[in-house]
Amino acid sequence: MALPLIVLIVCFILLMALNVPIAFCIGAAALSAVVAVGGPEVGGPPPLLTIAQQMATGFDSFALLAIPFFILSGMLMGRGGIARRLVDAANVFVGSFRGGLAYVNIMTCMLFGSISGSATAAVSAVGGFMVPVMNKMGYHRDFNASVSITAGTTGLLIPPSNVMIVYSLATGGSVSISAIFIAGVLPGVLVGLALMVVDGIISRRRGYGKGQSMPLGEAVKRCLAAIPCLLLIIIVLGGILKGYFTATEASAVAVVYALLLSMVFYREVRIRDLPGIFLQCGVVTAVIMLLIATSMSMSWILAYENIPQDISEFLLGLTDNKFVILLIINVLLLAVGTFMDMTPAILIFTPILLPVVKQMGMHPIHFGIVIIMNLCIGLCTPPVGTCLFVGCGVAETSMTKILKHLIPFFLAMIVILLLTTFVPGIALVLPRYFNLL
């Protein structure tokens, strides 16, 4: 039984070292493991057919339809001038404080990230606008990039979030999308507040600028302009919680709303822009779906070989201390996040680690928030942190220069991660309030 696992791990690591795209790494490793098991003896069909069947099974989920719809709504909102209006609104509330522009950056990334459902979109759209402004006002370029990079990840915790849909799929549907959506709100807000605390301390020490309060009329005007953008979150979450529509149906409603907002209300997206947006959405969706399909085939071979159960027995055999095991899991996920993208990491490690935490009495929704928070930190770390690379590109700086500025923000994110890990109520209080548990 050890041979298929060894073959899978060696093949996966070797292909990653050769810089093969992650989806092909996963698929080839799963195929190699099936061959090592004995081919037709696994379930009748030859290895290639077995993998193809498992990949097709991975697509057989109505909930997955929400992913392309949310991607499309996020792209429409991103092209529709949403980031600029959210920046203006955030500036009304926090722009007058010491280090106010960094506060504006963080708050806008939280709002835009939740609307778009993409951390990299938040870093590029908000950071692309805010970093040059902060540079002109005397903030350090690398500090500005660090703020955008870390704040962009909060949108993956504040719904709607595609990775939460992926997590629900990885649990076999045992976690409802609406429950995991609402569970991420409080942890996401806490991460944003922790980043603001770090910003406040650094800004006071370095004397970063203090903004000026604006006239009441201008403040009201900016807030009113941003309200239609924020209504998307209310429509999606409110509709799901009230039972008006499912998460998948909510994603389609989000597309219709984004179209109306971008093309009719703000008029920044034209009909001739739509083919390019649809094409981009199709490409992104295809990449995600291929990752899901190949990851499901890997999850199947792991389950066939009882790997999750073996790992569960191993970890529980090390110690009966729940806190130690949770610390080990967090360290493992933080390490995984440094070299693997979020979607395949969730699909691969959820089936492996979920049985462990269930035996300790940890709720699957709580674990879902913990795994997402860990992998959000990974988006900001080398060597494959997508937010890190986007932020460096936006700020026109290098990874080596930016890392020392990222450390205080990393520490803040880890503090909230540990707090959420060991205080289940942070993730579960809202689902309980709305009777979703």
Residue with tokens 């239609």: 228
| CA pair distance 310, 149, nearest whole angstrom | 37
| Cα–Cα distance measured from residue 194 to residue 191, given in angstroms and rounded to the nearest whole number | 5
| DSSP helix/strand/coil, 341 | coil
Closest CA to 63 of 199, 193, 173: 173
CA gap 238, 222 in Å, rounded: 24
Place of tokens 């289940």: 424
Q: Is the peptide bond before 344 cis (omega within 30 degrees of 0)?
A: no
Question: Which residue in the block uniquely carries the two structure tokens 């610390």?
Answer: 327
Rounded to a whole number of angstroms, the distance between the first and last alpha carbons of the chain is: 37
pLDDT of residue 362: 94
pLDDT of residue 143: 93
Q: Is 432 exposed, middle or buried (0-12, 13-18, 19+ CB in 10 A)?
A: middle
Q: What is the pLDDT of residue 157?
A: 93
List Cβ neighbours of 148 (8 Å cut-off, separation of 6 or more). 105, 109, 122, 123, 126, 127, 130, 131, 391, 394, 395
φ, ψ for residue 243, nearest 5 deg = 80, 15
CA torsion sign for 121, 126, 129, 134 is negative
Identify the sign of the CA torsion 152, 154, 159, 161. positive
Report how many helices (DSSP H) and strands (DSSP E) the chain contains, helices first: 21, 0
For the chain, 437 residues long, the average pLDDT of each consecutive 10-residue run is 80 87 87 76 64 80 83 83 82 80 89 81 85 88 93 89 90 89 95 95 85 78 87 85 84 90 88 92 87 84 80 80 92 88 88 90 96 93 82 86 92 96 96 89
Q: Is there a contact between 72 and 255 (Cβ–Cβ < 8 Å)? A: yes
DSSP structure string for 152-212: GGGGGTSSS-HHHHHHHHHTTT-S-HHHHHHHTHHHHHHHHHHHHHHHHHHHHHHT--B--
Do the Cβ atoms of 388 and 379 come closer than 8 Å? yes
Under 8 Å between Cβ of 188 and 151: no
The predicted pLDDT at position 433 comes to 92
DSSP characters over 17-45: HTT--HHHHHHHHHHHHHHHHTGGGTTSS
Cβ partners under 8 Å of residue 166, min gap 6: 67, 292, 343, 346, 347
Q: Could you identify the residue written with the tokens 């055999």? A: 317
